[in-house]
Amino acid sequence: MSSASTSRRVAFETIRAVNESDAYANLLLPKAIARAGLNNADAGLATELTYGTLRRQGTYDAVIQIAADRPLQEIDPAVLDALRLGTHQLLSTRVASHAAVNESVELARSAGSRGAAGFANAVLRRISRDTPGEWIERVAATARSDDERLGLVLSHPVWVVRAFRRALAAEGRADELEALLAADNASPRVTMAALPGLADVPDGARHTPYSPFGFRLGGGDPEGLVRESGGRVRVQDEGSQLAALALTRALPVQPGERWLDLCAGPGGKTAVLAAEALQHGAGLEANEVSPARAGLVRQAVAGVPLNVPVSEEDGRVRAAGGGYDRILLDAPCTGLGALRRRPEARWRKSPSDVPELAQLQRELLSAAIGGLRPGGVVAYVTCSPHLAETTGVVTEVRREFGDAIEELDARAVLTNLSDADPGLPPQNDGSGRAQLWPHRHNTDAMSISLLRRV
């Protein structure tokens, strides 16, 4: 088997696990690449094929349904995944058509039967006869509404399209919807963090525009740099860095402050908090209800010479001890802001997930505010721009606490610590919430609100 064929096999098996067993590509793919012994070039091909296929799965399904002239439900799931992988190569890569067809047919044959191979061959050859633009036109023509057209062409469920439209409209940017959806389908650039006070941005690296210790490498192996630094240099989205900094830079730090990262897993923001706490003479505790994720938090802070105890409790109970000066609540959410990096999430989440998550978010935020001393601040963060998980939660909790809390201007905090103006317009609800966007900031769509206990 050629190296390219092995890359396709790795991609196919990862996609199968994602769609069949609810596996996570970002966790499974690196292990599959290592197991297959792929070199850097072949690992890059496997990664592009996996993530590209998952990101554009909605569009490819519409194309396959037209080309096959049958409902997707009538196609064997394994064969369908082989068709998706082949369609991605035909419509979105420079892979030669014959290679894309033949290799995908072999994957269908291995997963199905002789008949499956013939069916896959016919469908993929039908797709290969026309240009990507012609297929997009056909797919768009099947839509019954503008939102459905955007969903089909730009590969997002319609409910996500509508949620994004409302979130953008909340800051007068509804006309940027297509740019946001397109950004979700692009591979994100690798962003690094040099933990403040513990590491420096390497020579030759490009500083990120918003985080004072974020950077991007011109080339080389980021994981090698992480290993050499002992964890003091990390791969971390710039939005994640800013979410932690919003808490530590919201108000001047007094020595001896007590900080808590309430829902800390997997620990990237905890590491930033730990470095900041070390610099300012503060103490930090972390909590993560999942034992596996709590272990990741301990690994994340191992490179910081600060004792950070990690508990494994329900966050709604953990914050009750009180007396904290700063609490980071990176709340469990739909994750709709990280669809570039976790593309399968768009196909797994549904509108019915939102009310239950919003209720949990309200309970956690109420507990966090209850755990603050007077004058203390909580940063409420979600990796989702969905208004029910952002504005809706904060509005209800502010109503609950009344004059006992005040909202700080998170947009001003982020603007003041950034080299470049992030261009964060006011929200139409009059809040101080800051919303980051993939298409504007090259970050996850992180929402950040700052609430201070009076």
pLDDT digits (tens, 9 = 90+) for 174-224: 999 999 999 999 999 999 999 999 999 998 899 999 999 999 998 777 888
Claim: this prediction has a pTM higher than 0.85: yes
Q: Is the peptide bond before 266 cis (omega within 30 degrees of 0)?
A: yes
- The mean pLDDT of the chain is 96
Angle between helix 97-111 and helix 77-92 axes, rounded to 10 deg:
170
Does the structure show a pLDDT above 60 at 1? no
Does the structure show a pLDDT above 60 at 289? yes
Tens digits of residue pLDDT in 86-125: 999 999 999 999 999 999 999 999 987 778 999 999 999 9
> Looking at beta carbons, which pairs linking 339-342 to residues 24 or more positions away fall under 8 Å?
339/55, 339/156, 339/184, 340/55, 340/183, 340/184, 340/185, 340/186, 340/187, 340/188, 340/438, 340/444, 341/26, 341/188, 341/237, 341/444, 342/24, 342/25, 342/26
Residue 408 buriedness (CB in 10 A; 0-12 / 13-18 / 19+): middle
* Alpha helices in 249-404, H assignment, sequence order: 268-280, 291-300, 315-318, 345-348, 353-370, 391-401
For residue 74, give Cα distances in angstroms to 79, 122, 311. 11, 16, 48
* Residues with catalytic roles: 383
Around Cβ 445, how many Cβ atoms within 10 Å? 29
Tens digits of residue pLDDT in 153-169: 999 999 999 999 999 99
What is the model's pLDDT at position 288? 98
**Predicted confidence band of residue 56 (pLDDT cuts 50, 70, 90):** very high
Sign of the four-CA dihedral 115, 116, 117, 122 = positive
Tens digits of residue pLDDT in 304-314: 999 999 999 99
Q: What is the mean pLDDT of residues 331-343?
A: 96
What span, in angstroms and rounded, lies between the C-alpha atoms of 181 and 262?
A: 31
Tens digits of residue pLDDT in 133-155: 999 999 999 999 999 999 999 99
Pairing of β 324-330 and β 434-435: unpaired
